[in-house]
Structure formats: C-alpha cells, structure tokens
Structure 1
C-alpha cells in the first residue's frame, strides 16, 4: 500500500520509521510546512535502510494536487494539525485516496468536513490511533454497561508542552457519559501519553490504564487501521467500527 504522510514532527517521524520498516507498505512522500528538509530522503534522514522512494516536500513549494498526481498514493495519514485537513482533504477525496486522521481534536467545522469528504472516499478519524488505548475504551464501556451507577474519574498525563485537555480523555469521557470536570490533567516532563480510568465501587476500585512507551505505538496503530480499511466502502469510520469487526467474527 502506498502511503503519503502529512506532518513530520516527533510523532510523524516515529510513524514514518514504522512504515519504512514494514514491507507491506511504501512511504511515497512526506508533506510538511517547512522547506528546511525539502527533497531529503525520509529513510536517509531517519537513518533507516530502505529502498522506498519517500522524499520530504514542503507545502510552500508544491500543491497537494500536483503532489498526488505526480506521486499517487492509496492513503494519506495525517499527523499535522486540526487545520491540515483543509490542505489535502478535497484533493484526496476527489482522487479516491483514503484519509486516516490521527488529529487529537477537531472543531465541529472540521468534523463536518470529514463527513462531507467521506461521501467520496474512506475517511477514518481517531483522537488516539494507538491500538491499546482503544482496547482501553472498549473495556471501559463494557464495565460501565455492567455497573452504570459506578463513580468514574479519568486521569490523563502528557508531556509538559501539550496544550489543552487530551482528545483521548475527552473521547473517554463522552463514551462513559461523564463530564469534563471528571478529567484530571497532568503535564510533567517528557511523558508520551498515559490514560487511566478509575472506577469507584463501594469498598473497592478498578483501574484501567494505557501508557504509550514510545511514539512508534502510533505507527503500529496506523498500520492496523490501514490494513483493516483496505476493502471497506467509502464512509466515515472510527476505531470502534474496526474493532467491532473482530468481535463479530
């Protein structure tokens, strides 16, 4: 499967590394705003032996239409920002390119755009694309269904520079029907990401915890999603849709 990657920050680099080391996928290119690394080989920059053609391009010097036409891909993976979808979304959907977005938070306007794009192609969005955290979400919803009266608190820990409440924590709160006031945020050091759901029963507690050890976990999640979307019809998908397929079999 041919992949185009939008965004090349710390997480984008980790995701690119995972893709380059998987023989079933080919990283065709990376698109970023800055021209600093333009035309550098992704594999050479990351120090990974690979025959893949992936080069780094700058959106300041090439349009997404030209990039997709000259270097076509089967899927675009977005690790940029919540406004990145405006850069590539329309061009990708018109060409039938699958869109996999791992942006942590979208406003209602961007969510509406994802829905519109899904009328022409496969669109997937998850605030946290790691497989483990979505297992956590699945298990937490199951426990809440068994005991809907249980007390619930959510704790999310991230690196010191992360702004706002974690999109994953917000998704957990929404799924478990608790308010944002039940989300406790911690910002210290270089934590990649940790989410904990605390269930308070009389005389006992249950804690479900997921922790990302390294950002490569996002790359593994991306490939899991891409593989499960291979034969899906156009539409808007979330992680739960993919997991449900495995529970139904």
Structure 2
C-alpha cells in the first residue's frame, strides 16, 4: 500500500461532505480519490471543484460507489442509514476502512450494518470530536459514582435542518450513562414528554432535543439530585472539528484488524 491513504467521500454535496473535501485538501498523508452522490443528484457527472463553487479539480462526482471504492483505501460516510448499510457491504467486500458519521439508525438497522460490514475496519461514532468523546467517558464515570437519586437528562441542540432526534451524540451520551448505571438504555430511556405525563420514573434517562438556526452542536448531561446538580457540557462552534476527527479515524483505521471501533479507540482513550 502506498504511503498516501486514498479516501472516498460519500454524500459529497452535503454540509459534512463539502467540509470533508476541504479538510482532505489540507491533510497530510490523505488524498481524495472519489466523490460519491446518489443517483439523480445534479452534481453527478460534474467536476467536484466547480460543483462546490470553486476552480475545477479534475475529479468528477459519481453515483458509481463500487467503482469509486475500487480505487480507495477508506471511505468516509455521513449520509443516511440505508445508504450507509449499502456502503458497508461494498467496504467489506474490499476490506476497506469505513468511517461512519451517519446517525439516526434504528436497532434493526444497526444489526444490519454490523452484518453488512463484516470484513471491514468500521469506525462508527455519533460524534467524532475529541471533546465529545472525553465527555462520554466523564458521563460514564459520573453515572457510576451516583445512584438513581440523581436523575439524568441529556439536552441537545442542533441546526434547524437536522432530520433525526435525539442526535447520535445524545444517544451516545445516554448509552454511556446507562453503562455507568449498569442498565440497558432501551429499558430506561424517556425520549418524549407531552401533556400530563405523571411523575418522572426513578432511574430513567431523559432526552430533550432543540432545533433552530445554525447551531452546530451543543450537548449537556445533567445529573440532578436532592439539593444539587452536576452539569457536563460540550459546545461545538465549528463543524470542521468533526471532519478532522473523521480524517483521523480514516488514517488510524488503515492496518487495523477488521472489526468495529469507535472514536475512543481512535483517540487511544480506552
């Protein structure tokens, strides 16, 4: 394998897709080798640089993911669950690194993704920033230390165009809190309150989603106990930090054994 890692970006017209293209242009040891969009998208067949409003790059946007993957070592994928599962199959067939920032998976889709991606180095995380992954570790530790007298709430805020709620990061934090408590998140998650809901159930982990404007991403984990509250918080002000994390994951994944990894592995925090 050459020293340069060749990377495909899927969903290249999206916010994160374009951010990844820009980040790759400045990254050492990484090269953008393919730009993939869904069939029928008006970017397909166009020069990527021109489609992004700049100078021509010499790289055409394609809807043929299989051909694009054939020339690459890694794919970075911030798309939608169904597309990610399909990309997972292609990545596994070629033994590639599959970096997944897609969120909004159902439990069934996660099972399907795990099956589809057997044979690939799969790095999947609801959030790829260093700060959020440190927050995840802290959430687990605090949940371990406090009993159910402390109610746990995860509050997240994102831009108005985000289509899934709670965010992948919020669910990641909820999972960390549940692991700290030694319970399954599915058994204790409270993901919606409206009307006369009755008193809060002891031990539940609550979620609140805020959508508005151009908020990049804000996450609070609140531990509310008798007479005191502990609040853990992360605020993202620049979407580029997610792109940098994804590139770090792609670089790290080359040479790893096939299997599932997360950003805690990539950052060496385990």
Normalising by the smaller structure, the TM-score range is 0.7 to 0.9
* Equivalent position of 1:121 in the other structure: 120
CA distance, structure 1, for counterparts of residue 221 and residue 96 of structure 2: 36
* Equivalent position of 2:177 in the other structure: 176
* Equivalent position of 2:6 in the other structure: 2
CA distance, structure 1, for counterparts of residue 172 and residue 74 of structure 2: 25
TM-score normalized with structure 1 length: 0.85
- Which structure has the greater CA radius of gyration? 2
* Equivalent position of 2:185 in the other structure: none
Unaligned runs of 5+ in 1: none
Q: Deviations over 1:56-99 (max 9, x none)?
A: 22x2xxx3223333xx1110111111111243222221111111
Cα RMSD (Å) of the superposition?
Answer: 2.4
Matched, 1:209 2:233: yes
Query: Alpha carbons of 1:53 and 1:133: their partners in 2 closer, same or farther (altered >3 Å)?
Result: farther
* Equivalent position of 1:12 in the other structure: 17
* Superposition deviation, residue 201 in structure 1: 3.9
CA distance, structure 1, for counterparts of residue 55 and residue 129 of structure 2: 25
User: For 1:83, what is the secondary structure of its paired residue?
Assistant: helix
Comparing 88-97 with 72-81, greater Cα deviation is found at 88-97
* Superposition deviation, residue 48 in structure 1: 7.2
Comparing 169-178 with 207-216, greater Cα deviation is found at 169-178
Q: Deviations over 1:117-148 (max 9, x none)?
A: 44312112112222221111111111112223
* Equivalent position of 2:108 in the other structure: 109
* Superposition deviation, residue 6 in structure 1: 0.7
Unaligned runs of 5+ in 2: 179-187, 192-205
Matched, 1:56 2:61: yes
* Equivalent position of 1:75 in the other structure: 74
User: For 2:102, what is the secondary structure of its paired residue?
Assistant: coil
Query: Alpha carbons of 1:151 and 1:115: their partners in 2 closer, same or farther (altered >3 Å)?
Result: same
Matched, 1:195 2:199: no
* Equivalent position of 1:37 in the other structure: 43
* Superposition deviation, residue 54 in structure 1: 4.1
* Equivalent position of 1:88 in the other structure: 87
User: For 1:37, what is the secondary structure of its paired residue?
Assistant: coil
The answer on whether the counterparts of 2:48 and 2:59 sit within 8 Å (CA) in structure 1 is yes
Query: Alpha carbons of 1:232 and 1:198: their partners in 2 closer, same or farther (altered >3 Å)?
Result: same
Comparing 21-30 with 88-97, greater Cα deviation is found at 88-97
